[in-house]
Structure 1
Amino acid sequence: MSAPEVIVDNVEQALTSVDRTKSVDAISDRDRSSISINGESFRASSESTAFSVGDFVLPNGESYSGTLLGNVPEGNGKYVWSDGCVYEGEWRRGMRHGNGKIQWPSGAAYEGEFSGGYMHGAGTYVGSNNLTYKGRWRLNLKHGLGSQVYPNGDIFEGSWIQGSPEGPGKYTWANGNVYLGNMKGSKMAGKGTLTWTNGDSFEGSWLNSMMHGFGVYTWSDGGCYVGTWTCGLKDGKGSFYPKGSRLQAVEERYLNALRKRGYFQI
């Protein structure tokens, strides 16, 4: 039986439109000269260091309302981009920093921790297609432990590296198939066990989501094949054991030794 496909996703491209203004402090002096705060023309100055509450509108139509330290957002405030993106939450030195929420015009939203203008720390992202990720982030990418529910009902729980499942985890398909093992580049890779809803299972090595290397395929009736696989196919180097038969002592000892060393476990 072939392995089911693991879904790969990307956080909305709209995310980059928010990143381009992660620092309000980077506004040019020419733009600052025409900023309006509370309806009055304002000229930025490094000598203005007092806390205040106000709002300003940039020449490109973007706006901020909330607390300021001198001329830049500090504390709590709301920033609205010209394309309709909205951030509401904590700021530090003109950057999104602390807890806050971003909403995109598409309906996607992120709520959680920020650092230096990026989604960074613990947070929850809900896409416009109802994809939901809850877990750790690093520089706008899923990174660390997290759980994601895909639009079709598939679920991945485990380790993420730079936006994709990588490392130990559990992938559950909407139809009930379950993979418990290692992932690399959003694909089943390394050691792991896939159990199909019909009761069949494969315990062993994977490469690019295909059975590859040594492993044990067990049918629902109890029969099994012990041997090696190449790109998802038995390559002839192995033994078949019908239901009720017993593995050869040497193979049974070999499998038990592999399990004790964690060969089939994450």
Structure 2
Amino acid sequence: MNLSKEYVDIYNEYLKFINEVEKDIKAINKIERNVLKRNHIATEEEIKAIEEEKIIEEEKNILKKSGNKIYNFSNGDVYIGKMEDCKMNGKGSYEFRISDEVSIKYTGNFKDNMKDGYGTCVFANGNIYTGNFQKDMMNGIGKIIYKNEDEYIGNWQDNQKYGMGIYKWKEGCIYVGEFKNSKMEGYGVCYDKDGKLIYDGEWKNNLIHGQGTYIWEEGKKYEGEFMHGKKHGQGIFYLNNELVYEGTWKFDKPSIFNRSLEEIFSLKF
């Protein structure tokens, strides 16, 4: 890859964090296997007390800080881990049953019944997120691998890609830049599958928008304004590294006096 050193360093920092998360997840998976092997199942009384939130003093003492157990809830959900103060706290796994065949599974850290800290979540659609959670939401640095094999690694805010991040398509093309509400928005660069720079500039709503430079191949490029993914506004076009046209563009075509070059050349004088 011909990615600039700056972007490679950013990627390596993100990857270093994800590796730490994965180490924590492996330790939790080991705990889960041991609990399942021992078949340490919570009693019906414990489950009922948790579900109904009617904890009598005796049950409160039992559930105040219990060891790792398997909690089979009446709705089909399964939690494996510790209960503290009658809530999921610490390391464990929770499987949300959507149907007999479909579920969502979270493995990681909990705080007061919420996903909080390092964790990984396998969604019902096959997407897998690994990274940081805060108050039940993906927050901080995280990596998601989509079912279609696209990948994103970078910053998250309230379950949305937000801030600096790197998106890699299955085919190998890469976007490095800013995101807002899970869309490419702000400044960003895009590389093809061979690591060659395609575009450097501004984005909005997943489209090239604003000032930027688009490169097709060596010696052929456009520098100027874009709107909704098209060359629009003031721009310069180069071919074989020589300036071919400088002026106004309208929806991907050069425009003179609000007419395309084709329209001008077709006029009969």
TM-score, normalised with respect to structure 2: 0.70
SS in 1 for 2:212: strand
Q: Does 1:218 align with 2:238?
A: yes
Q: Of 65, 72, 86, which aligns to 1:51?
A: 65
In structure 2, what is the equivalent of residue 179 of structure 1?
Answer: 199
Of residues 109-118 and 228-237 in structure 1, the stretch that sits farther from structure 2 once superposed is: 228-237
Contact 2:236 2:243 in 1 (8 A): no
CA distance in 1, matches of 2:156, 2:134: 10
Q: Of 64, 70, 80, which aligns to 2:95?
A: 80
CA distance in 1, matches of 2:139, 2:238: 43
Contact 1:108 1:128 in 2 (8 A): yes
CA distance in 2, matches of 1:221, 1:194: 13
CA distance in 1, matches of 2:243, 2:185: 32
* 1:108 counterpart letter in structure 2: N
Of residues 188-197 and 53-62 in structure 1, the stretch that sits farther from structure 2 once superposed is: 53-62
Q: Does 1:205 align with 2:225?
A: yes
CA drift at 1:68: 1.3
Q: Of 58, 67, 72, which aligns to 2:82?
A: 67
CA drift at 1:221: 4.6
Contact 1:66 1:73 in 2 (8 A): yes
In structure 2, what is the equivalent of residue 143 of structure 1?
Answer: 162
CA distance in 1, matches of 2:56, 2:234: 66
Q: Does 1:104 align with 2:119?
A: no
Q: Does 1:40 align with 2:39?
A: no
Of residues 44-53 and 85-94 in structure 1, the stretch that sits farther from structure 2 once superposed is: 44-53
TM-score, normalised with respect to structure 1: 0.71
**Structure 1 or 2: more helix by fraction:** 2
CA drift at 1:85: 1.8
CA drift at 1:139: 1.2
Q: Of 132, 136, 143, which aligns to 1:117?
A: 136
SS in 1 for 2:133: strand
Q: Does 1:196 align with 2:220?
A: no
Residues 227-266 of structure 1 correspond to what in structure 2 (within 5 A)? 227-236=247-256
Equivalenced residues, count: 203
CA distance in 2, matches of 1:164, 1:211: 20
CA distance in 1, matches of 2:105, 2:56: 27
In structure 2, what is the equivalent of residue 245 of structure 1?
Answer: none
User: CA offsets per residue over residues 5-28 of structure 1, 9 Å max, x none?
Assistant: xxxxxxxxxxxxxxxxxxxxxxxx
Gaps of 5+ in 2: 1-39, 259-269
Of residues 64-73 and 114-123 in structure 1, the stretch that sits farther from structure 2 once superposed is: 64-73
Identical positions, percent: 27
CA drift at 1:105: 5.0
Contact 1:46 1:70 in 2 (8 A): no
Contact 1:158 1:165 in 2 (8 A): yes
CA drift at 1:237: 5.8
